[in-house]
Structure 1
């Protein structure tokens, strides 16, 4: 039997935080955050490491409390109209050891009262990275098609993200994969239920979802000049 990492108390913390998203409440509840949210998430990240290495030895699950795979709970308020100080989800990104953190492919997990979400791919990449991925699709169309149409991947993930309304400059508008070339994000997403997240099977469920995305992630990783 697997290990249970997350309990209903994990989600209750965020339900209460969303009603009390201020520094005073968080200061009073910080020990609870560390016990019910941060520790379980860091334990999950640590135990996911060996499974991630089987998918690709170059992707990293780093369980350090700061600077590792777990994202900070503090929101960056500089450019945001929403001045609430805390995220109302716990998230982790598992990135390539040689990649720039947000501009290379990642396996991603976000848990909140609203949804439990796993994502794979590159979200909001910079223009040169988008161009490299589009060029790879044009150069290796059969490989791209087999990655996105892979039976396991397709049964689990849905491609998502922003699209251009017209074909990108410099690409043939009649290209058979023009809809994919119009993508600005190259991501797949899948959902879990809260019951699944709180079960002893969640590590297996998340790991097998990530494994099913291996062909898609391999294509993107190599398109960006990184080793799979």
Structure 2
């Protein structure tokens, strides 16, 4: 679970997203950061029970900085109004499919899995894996529990078939994707419940076959 004070910090930060306010509330930030890292540790331990590739990770390997890179952004506010952790083989900078949790009060918290905007060589491998083993991929996506929890695979898509594939390919709607993501929102009321970590881990376990399929492409 997360502490109510952590939710309050992010809500207040959203209203006062400037360095002066942040500096005045540095202790509140440190407390919220530690709270989120404690939850991340619980998630790593839970995931490791069904995916040993994350067992070696520490929270620092998975959590993202709250400081924004505003060099190329129109929004010059200096801080993120969320805290996120990506747990995968190799940690947050890994190209492998993994498990993501983002904490943001106001109905914006969610879990996600898969690969977001991979570089061209990795994208090519994933598309090839889907093309070669579409029956296996379809079997994962058609599981009742998968559909109930995640509905479908999300991601920005090409308008036309990618190079090397015909538009009549049975997997074409997935081959057009530039990201391969499944996700589910986490309601605010669950964030401070003792069952939070357990519920998130259940969702991560349900997306494991999807991640395993994507990672098979990267392993080859």
Gaps of 5+ in 2: none
Which string of whole-angstrom CA distances, capped at 9 and with x for unpartnered residues, describes residues 41-93 of structure 1? 111111222211112111254223xxx21110000122212111100001111
Q: How does 1:1-228 map to 2 (within 5 A)?
A: 5-35=1-31, 37-60=32-55, 61-64=57-60, 68-97=61-90, 101-114=93-106, 115-158=108-151, 159-225=153-219
8 Å Cα contact 2:126-2:217 kept in structure 1: yes
* Cα drift, residue 14 of structure 1: 1.2
Q: Which moved more, 1:79-88 or 1:48-57?
A: 48-57
Mapped contact 1:103–1:124 kept (Cα < 8 A): no
Runs of 4 or more above 6 Å deviation: none
- Report if the CA contact (8 A) 1:102-1:125 is conserved: no
3-state SS of 1:191 partner:
strand
CA RMSD, 1 decimal: 1.6
Structure 1 residue 163, shift from structure 2 partner: 0.6
Q: Distance in 1 between matches of 2:129 and 2:213?
A: 8
DSSP 3-state at the match of 1:213: helix
TM-score by length of 2: 0.93
Measure how far apart 1:102 and its partner are: 4.9
Alignment partners' CA distance in 2, 1:154 and 1:202: 22
Post-superposition offset of 1:100: 8.0
**TM (normalized to structure 1)?**
0.90
**Cα shift readout 1:178-228 (whole Å, capped 9, x = no counterpart):** 1011111000010111111111111110000000001101000111117xx
Larger % of helix: which? 2
